[in-house]
Structure 1
Amino acid sequence: MLRDLRELPRTVWPRAVVYGAVAAVLIGVPSDVIDTPIFGRPVETGWLDYVILLVTSALIGLIFAIRPAASGDAVTEAAVERQGTSTIWGGFVSFLAVGCPVCNQAVVALVGISGALSWWAPVQPVVGLAALALLVWTLRKRLRTYQAVACPLPTS
């Protein structure tokens, strides 16, 4: 996978930085990992929240920056669409992983505030790993799709 990333055209990397920054803002501002006066967070942000935000944003940026050329192939187009959906889900799971445990209304409704702090907060790093795994899997799929479209196999 690292070899495939090194072989990407230079035009992908500036787009990846822009998309990654947008992803970081979209995930970090509402979860108050990126501190703004708009949102508040009663539970302190941990160092792992910053790591998860940084890595997932970088992966989302790469996935969205790698766009296969239009092939007209319905199978390839469907695969690219599924990869976009997986990326959005990865971002959502990342948001759940870095968000304040007591600010998540669904968690508070299910287990209460004490349950959010004693049950959900310790599970959040595992949720972050799940987001990372989903995004790495999606990036691998995107790189395979890119290679298949950019360098199609010769037909006999």
Structure 2
Amino acid sequence: MKILARNKKAFHDYEILETIEAGISLKGTEVKSAKEGKISFKDSFCKVERGELILYNVHISPYSSGSVFNHDPESPRKLLLHKREIIRLNTKVKKEGLTIIPLEFYVNDRGIIKVKIALAKGLKKYDKREKIAERDFERRVRKEKKYEIT
């Protein structure tokens, strides 16, 4: 499994509750550009529309060797899941107020590009501060233990 791109900001802005592997429908030049790792996740999210899961705001740069037939970098892309999975995700989003976000793009062992998506709950500013304070405290404790003489 080769990871093409990872959404690092997602773990800072959201509490990840559940992850799911989904296929993605891409055009030829999108596949070539994605395999080069030219993917940006800025403000990306997924939404259920007409029984399909659509991925928005993922920027896949135009393929460098592409011609007139190059793709639109910001176009919405269809994610491939079973209908029952899409319905389950949609009910959780509507009932519990969760968000579906992409975590990473990767190539599986058969050479197919997959997207790891997550059901996530947005963190408030004070939650982020608490998380940062806990990490700093743990870092200080580890540093003290390292220099502790036994």
Same fold (TM over 0.5): no
Query: Shorter-chain TM-score: what band?
Result: under 0.3
Q: Give the structure with the larger strand fraction.
A: 2
TM-score by length of 2: 0.26
TM-score by length of 1: 0.25
